[in-house]
């Protein structure tokens, strides 16, 4: 089987929640549709009709799962949704979200983006006390903590549970009559809040990993759920409270470098603006005489636009991406060189022939795909290929919900920039400096996590065993 995975850090999860809308499940579907890039393995929606929670979760893409018939089985004015990516071995329906439980606080369901770093420890404790787990997802631990809490109300039990969690989490919960959302005290993963005015004068509230989910449903962005904050939306209205004081901020800079859609606001800042600035600063740091700037689509596009604008070199979309490549494909028995990458990308020969090309990409993780792309551009006739990466070298794995390969698979952890250049067969290679990345995301107050580029983690390092958990 060919390796169809791009040499990238994988997508993680997207979460969505809506309260007070007569078509809650339909809007959750549209929200998840906009968040599909954050995870394509499974998706789910849980809705409440005020008495009972209904849930559908399946493997596959949002549009394939939520047919009109499926959406008709999700009644009510409140809903949460989730789209998930996970590593091989964890791709089971039991880990698809939302996860639900019925307990003495009623029926609740949860969807999660992040990685609870003390999940293994908490799970062992819970199992010793008699809890029975169905899945291997760290998210299930949260439900057990809520169910076992001695607190009498749901919000108090949630607070109790959240205070025991470590790591990264943006969580959305649904109960019979309310939506509750929460973010970890470092604020690793994003969670935006918005509102929709209904024709009957009521206001509906929405939450999502990225604001592109609001645009599709015409919701207005209000702001971010703050780190350490819990927002409860129920019949009594909206209650915002700090369940714990915020800790040193650690917003994942990789959301701006790679994960999020450029048309989103993430952590309150335009992703396109950050990426274009990354490209401009990269052009200042690593200029080179060339004829054309070419992005590796799709995520390299904004940075390439910035690079081209700053360097006054024409921008050309000379690599065309096929968006409809499935997960498996039968490779022709006659070996075709770099077959996997050719399925996804095709060069536009007349834009590359005889040209000195600056290829802009947003990450270089193992180096294998970059090498294939450099070769492809050269085979299409390019005279020179200069690779520019719009972030610093990735040297350390992420413990906060981004599925990075282990350290020994990260090419930059083992090789110098010159060594990597030779490996990817580029004429030159330049990475954005850490200082410029700070500038590109306008991080004047040290609000971001850069640990995958520095190895300096914002929380105490977790035990390796903890990572055996499927995370989201």
Full DSSP string of 36-71: GGG--SEEEEEEE-SS-EEEEEEES-HHHH--HHHH
Give phi and psi for 453, each to the nearest 5. -105, -15
Choose, from 13, 55, 252, 472, the residue flagged as catalytic.
13
Instruction: Kindly state whether residue 452 participates in binding ligand SF4, applying the rule CB under 6 A.
Output: yes
Please give the Cα distance from 187 to 190 (Å, whole number).
Answer: 7
Cβ atoms of residues 369 and 15 within 8 Å: no
Query: Does position 450 bind ligand SF4 by CB under 6 A?
Result: yes
169 is a contact residue toward ligand SF4 (CB under 6 A): no
Interface with ligand SF4, residue 116, by CB under 6 A: no
Instruction: Select the residue interacting with ligand SF4 from 253, 301, 319, 385 (CB under 6 A).
Output: 253
Which one of 398, 412, 437, 441 is in contact with ligand SF4 (CB under 6 A)? Answer: 398
Query: What residues are paired with 192 via a beta bridge?
Result: 208, 224
What's the token pair of residue 4? Answer: 């169809």
Per CB under 6 A, which region of 73-81, 247-255, 295-303, 369-377 contacts ligand SF4? 247-255
- Candidates 265-273, 324-332, 408-416, 449-457: pick the segment binding ligand SF4 (CB under 6 A): 449-457
Position 400 contacts ligand SF4 (CB under 6 A): yes
Task: Work out whether 157 is an interface residue with ligand SF4 (CB under 6 A).
Answer: no
In the structure encoding, which two tokens stand for residue 126, read together?
């819970």
Q: Which of 96, 451, 462, 472 binds ligand SF4 (CB under 6 A)?
A: 451
Query: Can you read off the two tokens belonging to residue 303?
Result: 């940075």
Report the residue number, 267 or 286, with the smaller CB distance to ligand SF4.
267
Q: Does 282 bind ligand SF4 (CB under 6 A)?
A: no
Residue 471 three-state SS: coil
CB of 400 to ligand SF4, least distance (A): 4
| Residue ranges in 174-203 that form contacts with ligand SF4 under rule CB under 6 A | 188
Determine whether 291 is exposed, middle or buried from the number of CB atoms within 10 Å of its CB (0-12, 13-18, 19+).
middle
With binding defined as CB under 6 A, does residue 85 bind ligand SF4? Answer: no
Q: Please indicate whether residue 398 is annotated as part of the active site.
A: no
The reply to whether 99 sits near ligand SF4 by the rule CB under 6 A is no
Task: Identify the residue among 18, 181, 213, 252 touching ligand SF4 (CB under 6 A).
Answer: 252
Q: By CB under 6 A, is residue 437 in contact with ligand SF4? A: no
Long-range CB pairs of 54-60 (<8 Å, 24+ gap) are 55/98, 55/100, 55/109, 57/82, 57/93, 57/96, 57/97, 57/98, 58/93, 58/96, 59/91, 59/93, 59/96
Residue 307 as a binder of ligand SF4 (CB under 6 A): the answer is: no
273: left (phi > 0), else alpha (psi -120 to 50), else beta? alpha
Q: Which sequence positions are flagged as catalytic?
A: 13
Q: Interface residues with ligand SF4 (CB under 6 A)?
A: 188, 252-254, 398, 400, 402, 449-452
């Amino acid at each position: 089987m060919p390796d169809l995975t791009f040499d990238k850090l994988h997508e993680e999860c997207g979460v969505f929640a809506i309260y007070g809308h007569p078509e809650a499940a339909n809007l959750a579907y549209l929200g998840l549709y906009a968040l599909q890039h954050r995870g394509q393995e499974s998706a789910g929606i849980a809705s409440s009709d005020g008495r009972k929670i209904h849930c559908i979760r399946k493997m596959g893409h949002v549009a394939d799962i939520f047919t009109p018939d499926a959406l008709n089985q999700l009644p009510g004015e409140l809903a949460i949704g989730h789209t998930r990516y996970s590593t091989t071995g964890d791709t089971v329906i039991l880990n698809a979200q939302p996860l639900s439980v019925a307990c003495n606080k009623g029926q609740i369901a949860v969807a999660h983006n992040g990685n609870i770093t003390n999940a293994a420890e908490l799970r062992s404790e819970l199992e010793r006390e008699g809890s029975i787990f169905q899945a291997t997802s760290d998210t299930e631990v949260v439900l057990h903590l809520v169910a076992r809490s001695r607190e009498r109300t749901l919000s108090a039990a949630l607070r109790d549970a959240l205070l025991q969690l470590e790591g990264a989490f943006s969580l959305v919960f649904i109960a019979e009559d309310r939506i509750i959302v929460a973010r970890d005290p470092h604020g690793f993963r994003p969670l935006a809040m918005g509102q929709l005015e209904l024709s009957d004068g009521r206001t509906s509230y929405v939450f999502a990993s990225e604001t592109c989910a609001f645009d599709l449903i015409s919701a207005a962005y209000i702001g971010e759920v703050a780190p350490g904050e819990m927002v409860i939306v129920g019949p009594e209205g909206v209650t915002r409270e700090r369940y714990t004081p915020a800790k040193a901020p650690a917003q994942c800079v990789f959301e701006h470098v790679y994960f999020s859609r450029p048309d989103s606001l993430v952590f309150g800042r335009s992703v396109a603006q950050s990426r274009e600035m990354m490209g401009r600063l990269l052009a200042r740091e690593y200029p080179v005489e060339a004829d054309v700037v070419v992005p590796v689509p799709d995520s390299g596009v904004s940075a390439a636009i910035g690079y081209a604008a700053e360097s006054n070199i024409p921008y050309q979309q000379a690599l065309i991406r096929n968006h409809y490549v499935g997960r498996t494909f039968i490779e022709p028995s006659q070996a075709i060189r770099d077959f996997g990458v050719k399925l996804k990308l095709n060069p536009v020969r007349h834009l590359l022939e005889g040209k000195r090309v600056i290829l802009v990409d947003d990450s270089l993780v193992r180096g294998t795909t970059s090498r294939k792309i450099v070769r492809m551009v050269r085979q299409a006739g390019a005279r020179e290929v200069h690779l520019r990466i719009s972030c610093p070298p990735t040297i350390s794995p992420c413990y906060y919900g981004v599925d990075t390969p282990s350290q020994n698979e990260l090419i930059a952890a083992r090789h110098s920039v010159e060594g990597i250049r030779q490996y990817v067969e580029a004429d030159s290679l330049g990475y954005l400096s850490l200082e410029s990345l700070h500038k590109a995301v306008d991080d004047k107050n040290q609000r971001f996590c850069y640990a995958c580029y520095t190895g300096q983690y914002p929380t105490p390092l977790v035990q390796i065993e903890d990572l055996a958990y499927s995370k989201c």
